[in-house]
Amino acid sequence: MSDVSRRAFMHVAGVAAVAVGATSTTNAAVANSPRSAAGKVKVVSSANGLEATKKAYEMILAGSDPALSVVTGVGIVEDDPNDTSVGYGGLPNERGIVELDAAVMHGPTHRAGAVASLQNIRHPAQVALKVMLRTDHVLLVGAGALDFAKAHGFPEENLLTELSRKIWLRWKETLSDKDDWIPDPDEKEIPVAEFFRSRSIPIGESSVSGDLKIAADKSPMKFRRPTGTIHCAAMTGSGDFACTTTTSGLAFKIPGRVGDSPIIGAGLYCDNEIGTCGSTGRGEANLQNLCSFAAVELMRNGASPEDAGMEVLRRVAKTTEPRLRDKDGRPDFGLSFYLLSKDGRHAGVTMWGPEKFSITDENGTRHEDCKALYTRPPK
């Protein structure tokens, strides 16, 4: 082994020791980090991540590295067949195949790992962590990401649950009246029809999705294209950050479409001296504006987490194309940010409220309200 490759290996091995929770190594890494003003452990997540924040918080208190802690936390949601936005049970692409994106970033080392368009692996965030720890790369995609996951012993499995298959099939069968797919009229009751009904919006309001027809009821219905993701970020008691984002992305996407979640700076970013930001919602808006990086940079320049997040939302609103605006000119899509700063402050902000985010800190595990740029009237 050359000197250079030995040094590289030893560096990665050192990070690996931190991430598998070797307490002495973790403590050494933490002791070398600048102290936060607050000195309190805090974990935030999207609304679907209540359990994830609790798990990550407990692990950090027990001495685990924050990257391993948040990745383990979101693993609970990746495992959940009823969360159709992430991991097992996630909604598939337009061909009916579940394709997952995930990333993790580790503040103390400023290292990151990510996977995109990964099929058949239930825990993409864990694979992203392996990319960070066991390669000299940041992002692996598609077949290469799958080979890498299998090389590290991740089992392959079909991630399409009966619920997500039926939702996809209903979407496909009702997309057009000019093809040969015929929906099952007996399947109009819960949970499939209910899934669509809960996402319906009043006819006449614009939507990025287009019309959808429900079988046995041929009246056109506007329908919000399902999205969903979990982002989770943590600050340790010594002010170290880590964050992760994991998703099945936009439901019924074009195969190969990659969202913001695995892109460092878009779906997540942390700087150990400043703070962390991560996102859920329309990935394309995030990719066009590199929102998570922008928010951390705004915090570097003195903005609070809430002000940084709101400023990024305003930038997105300003640059949104006309076809994605509602009749009042506002972006007609969801986008949320979850932020932590070095001085211990936190915020959740959202394009459209009301919206919640999850948090665990010394005051317990709970939902808090996101600050909203726009608010929808109650239904």
Which residues are identified as catalytic?
Answer: 229
CB nearer to ligand ASP: give 46 or 238: 46
- Cite the beta strand spans of 90-229 per DSSP E: 100-106, 111-118, 139-141, 211-214, 217-222
283 binds ligand ASP (CB under 6 A): yes
The whole-angstrom separation of Cα 103 and Cα 128 is 5
Phi-psi region of 110 (alpha: psi -120 to 50; beta: other; left: phi over 0): left
Return the C-alpha torsion angle 150, 19, 68, 61, nearest 10: 150
Looking at the DSSP assignment, which residues form a beta bridge with residue 331?
A: 325
Element at 232 (helix H, strand E) = strand 230-235
Q: Which stretch binds ligand ASP (CB under 6 A): 125-133, 153-161, 257-265, 345-353?
A: 257-265
List binders of ligand ASP among 66-125 (CB under 6 A). none
Least distance (Å) between residue 219 CB and ligand ASP: 27
Q: Which stretch binds ligand ASP (CB under 6 A): 25-33, 65-73, 227-235, 307-315?
A: 227-235
CB nearer to ligand ASP: give 65 or 260: 260
Number of residues that bind ligand ASP (CB under 6 A): 13
The whole-angstrom separation of Cα 286 and Cα 319 is 11
CB nearer to ligand ASP: give 247 or 292: 247
Could you tell me which of 83, 152, 88, 158 has the C-alpha nearest to residue 120?
Answer: 158
Least distance (Å) between residue 214 CB and ligand ASP: 23
355 binds ligand ASP (CB under 6 A): no
Q: Which stretch binds ligand ASP (CB under 6 A): 65-73, 88-96, 180-188, 280-288?
A: 280-288
Looking at the DSSP assignment, which residues form a beta bridge with residue 115?
A: 102, 140
247 binds ligand ASP (CB under 6 A): yes
358 binds ligand ASP (CB under 6 A): no
280 binds ligand ASP (CB under 6 A): yes
Least distance (Å) between residue 268 CB and ligand ASP: 10
Single residue of 26, 45, 174, 261 touching ligand ASP by CB under 6 A:
261
Single residue of 45, 109, 126, 227 touching ligand ASP by CB under 6 A:
227
CB nearer to ligand ASP: give 22 or 138: 138
249 binds ligand ASP (CB under 6 A): yes
| DSSP labels, 147-167 | HHHHHTTPPP-----HHHHHH
The whole-angstrom separation of Cα 313 and Cα 142 is 31
The whole-angstrom separation of Cα 339 and Cα 269 is 10
CB nearer to ligand ASP: give 286 or 360: 286
- Which tokens is 36 given? 């936060």
Q: Tell me: cis bond preceding 191? Omega within 30 of 0 counts.
A: yes
Single residue of 89, 281, 305, 348 touching ligand ASP by CB under 6 A:
281
CB nearer to ligand ASP: give 260 or 361: 260
Single residue of 53, 229, 236, 341 touching ligand ASP by CB under 6 A:
229
The pair phi, psi for residue 188, each rounded to 5°, is -80, -10
Single residue of 99, 260, 332, 361 touching ligand ASP by CB under 6 A:
260
Q: Which stretch binds ligand ASP (CB under 6 A): 74-82, 129-137, 156-164, 247-255?
A: 247-255
244 binds ligand ASP (CB under 6 A): no
164 binds ligand ASP (CB under 6 A): no
| DSSP labels, 323-370 | GGB-TTS-B-S-EEEEEEETTS-EEEEEEEES-EEEEEETTEEEEEEP
Number of Cβ within a 10 Å radius of residue 94: 15
Query: What residues line the site for ligand ASP (CB under 6 A)?
Result: 227-229, 247, 249-250, 259-261, 280-283
